[in-house]
Protein backbone atom coordinates (compact mmCIF):
# COMPACT_ATOMS: atom_id res chain seq x y z
CA UNK A 1 0.00 0.00 0.00
CA UNK A 2 1.43 3.34 -1.04
CA UNK A 3 0.88 6.48 1.05
CA UNK A 4 0.94 9.33 -1.50
CA UNK A 5 -0.27 11.79 1.15
CA UNK A 6 3.04 11.48 3.07
CA UNK A 7 6.36 13.14 2.37
CA UNK A 8 9.26 13.66 4.77
CA UNK A 9 11.37 16.73 4.06
CA UNK A 10 14.77 16.54 5.76
CA UNK A 11 15.27 20.26 5.09
CA UNK A 12 12.53 21.24 7.53
CA UNK A 13 13.20 22.05 11.16
CA UNK A 14 10.28 19.79 12.11
CA UNK A 15 11.47 16.29 13.11
CA UNK A 16 10.55 13.52 10.64
CA UNK A 17 8.29 11.66 13.12
CA UNK A 18 6.32 14.87 13.65
CA UNK A 19 5.99 15.42 9.89
CA UNK A 20 4.53 11.90 9.58
CA UNK A 21 2.26 12.48 12.59
CA UNK A 22 0.91 15.78 11.26
CA UNK A 23 0.40 14.56 7.70
CA UNK A 24 -1.52 11.45 8.78
CA UNK A 25 -3.65 13.49 11.19
CA UNK A 26 -4.37 16.03 8.42
CA UNK A 27 -5.30 13.26 5.96
CA UNK A 28 -7.76 11.88 8.51
CA UNK A 29 -9.23 15.35 9.15
CA UNK A 30 -9.67 15.92 5.40
CA UNK A 31 -11.33 12.54 4.97
CA UNK A 32 -8.57 11.17 2.73
CA UNK A 33 -8.11 8.41 5.31
CA UNK A 34 -11.61 7.32 6.32
CA UNK A 35 -12.44 5.48 9.57
CA UNK A 36 -11.08 1.91 9.64
CA UNK A 37 -8.74 2.54 6.66
CA UNK A 38 -5.60 0.42 6.97
CA UNK A 39 -2.19 2.08 7.12
CA UNK A 40 1.06 0.62 5.81
CA UNK A 41 3.17 -1.38 8.25
CA UNK A 42 5.85 0.53 10.12
CA UNK A 43 8.60 -1.08 8.05
CA UNK A 44 6.84 -0.55 4.75
CA UNK A 45 6.11 3.13 5.40
CA UNK A 46 9.62 3.74 6.76
CA UNK A 47 11.04 2.20 3.58
CA UNK A 48 8.70 4.23 1.35
CA UNK A 49 9.66 7.48 3.11
CA UNK A 50 13.36 6.69 3.50
CA UNK A 51 13.31 7.04 7.28
CA UNK A 52 14.11 4.75 10.20
CA UNK A 53 11.33 2.40 11.36
CA UNK A 54 11.50 4.03 14.81
CA UNK A 55 10.44 7.32 13.19
CA UNK A 56 7.21 5.81 11.86
CA UNK A 57 6.67 3.78 15.04
CA UNK A 58 6.87 6.96 17.13
CA UNK A 59 4.40 8.79 14.88
CA UNK A 60 1.98 5.83 14.93
CA UNK A 61 2.34 5.54 18.71
CA UNK A 62 1.51 9.20 19.28
CA UNK A 63 -1.41 9.04 16.87
CA UNK A 64 -2.71 6.01 18.77
CA UNK A 65 -2.34 7.72 22.14
CA UNK A 66 -4.33 10.72 20.85
CA UNK A 67 -7.08 8.49 19.47
CA UNK A 68 -6.45 8.94 15.74
CA UNK A 69 -5.25 5.38 15.07
CA UNK A 70 -5.85 1.92 16.46
CA UNK A 71 -3.14 -0.74 16.62
CA UNK A 72 -4.95 -3.95 15.78
CA UNK A 73 -2.26 -6.56 16.41
CA UNK A 74 -1.76 -8.80 13.42
CA UNK A 75 -4.38 -6.89 11.42
CA UNK A 76 -2.13 -3.83 11.49
CA UNK A 77 -2.74 -0.18 12.17
CA UNK A 78 -6.02 1.42 11.16
CA UNK A 79 -7.70 4.80 11.37
CA UNK A 80 -9.89 4.94 14.46
CA UNK A 81 -13.61 4.44 13.87
CA UNK A 82 -14.34 7.71 15.69
CA UNK A 83 -11.34 10.02 15.23
CA UNK A 84 -11.18 12.88 17.75
CA UNK A 85 -12.49 15.56 15.39
CA UNK A 86 -14.05 17.84 17.96
CA UNK A 87 -13.67 21.62 18.04
CA UNK A 88 -11.11 21.58 20.85
CA UNK A 89 -8.88 19.08 19.03
CA UNK A 90 -9.08 21.04 15.77
CA UNK A 91 -8.31 24.33 17.55
CA UNK A 92 -5.35 22.73 19.31
CA UNK A 93 -4.04 21.28 16.05
CA UNK A 94 -4.38 24.65 14.30
CA UNK A 95 -2.65 26.51 17.13
CA UNK A 96 0.18 23.95 17.23
CA UNK A 97 0.73 24.10 13.46
CA UNK A 98 0.64 27.91 13.40
CA UNK A 99 3.07 28.12 16.30
CA UNK A 100 5.57 25.83 14.57
CA UNK A 101 5.18 27.64 11.27
CA UNK A 102 5.71 31.08 12.80
CA UNK A 103 8.68 29.84 14.80
CA UNK A 104 10.32 28.44 11.67
CA UNK A 105 9.85 31.79 9.91
CA UNK A 106 11.35 33.66 12.88
CA UNK A 107 14.40 31.38 12.70
CA UNK A 108 14.74 32.44 9.07
CA UNK A 109 14.89 36.11 10.13
CA UNK A 110 11.37 37.35 9.47
CA UNK A 111 9.86 39.78 11.98
CA UNK A 112 6.52 39.29 13.71
CA UNK A 113 5.10 42.19 11.69
CA UNK A 114 6.22 40.71 8.37
CA UNK A 115 4.76 37.31 9.27
CA UNK A 116 1.46 38.76 10.50
CA UNK A 117 1.12 40.93 7.41
CA UNK A 118 1.65 38.06 5.00
CA UNK A 119 -0.61 35.68 6.93
CA UNK A 120 -3.38 38.29 7.02
CA UNK A 121 -2.97 38.98 3.30
CA UNK A 122 -2.93 35.25 2.47
CA UNK A 123 -5.92 34.41 4.68
CA UNK A 124 -7.89 37.22 3.06
CA UNK A 125 -7.10 36.08 -0.48
CA UNK A 126 -7.81 32.44 0.39
CA UNK A 127 -11.19 33.34 1.87
CA UNK A 128 -12.18 35.18 -1.32
CA UNK A 129 -11.10 32.25 -3.50
CA UNK A 130 -13.30 29.76 -1.60
CA UNK A 131 -16.48 31.87 -1.87
Q: What is the pLDDT of residues 48-102, one digit of tens each?
A: 999 999 999 999 999 999 899 999 788 899 999 887 766 677 787 778 888 888 8
Predicted pLDDT of residue 77: 94
Annotated domain spans of the chain: 16-79, 87-129
Global pTM reads 0.65
**Range 92-119 average pLDDT:** 88
1 pLDDT band, cuts 50/70/90, is very low
Q: Which residues of 30-67 are buried (b: 16+ CB within 10 A; e: fewer)?
A: eeebeeeeebbebebbbebbebeeebbbbbbbbbeebe
User: Domain 16-79 carries which CATH code?
Assistant: 1.10.10.10
Q: 130 vs 25, which has greater pLDDT?
A: 25
* Whole-angstrom distance, CA of residue 3 vs CA of residue 44: 10
4 pLDDT band, cuts 50/70/90, is low
Cα–chain center distance at 42: 16
**Range 28-47 average pLDDT:** 92
Q: What are the tens digits of pLDDT across the range 8-22?
A: 998 888 899 999 999
Amino acid sequence: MNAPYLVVDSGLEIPPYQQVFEQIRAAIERGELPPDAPLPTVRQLANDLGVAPNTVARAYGELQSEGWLIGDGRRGTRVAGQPPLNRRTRTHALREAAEKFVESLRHRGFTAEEIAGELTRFAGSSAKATR
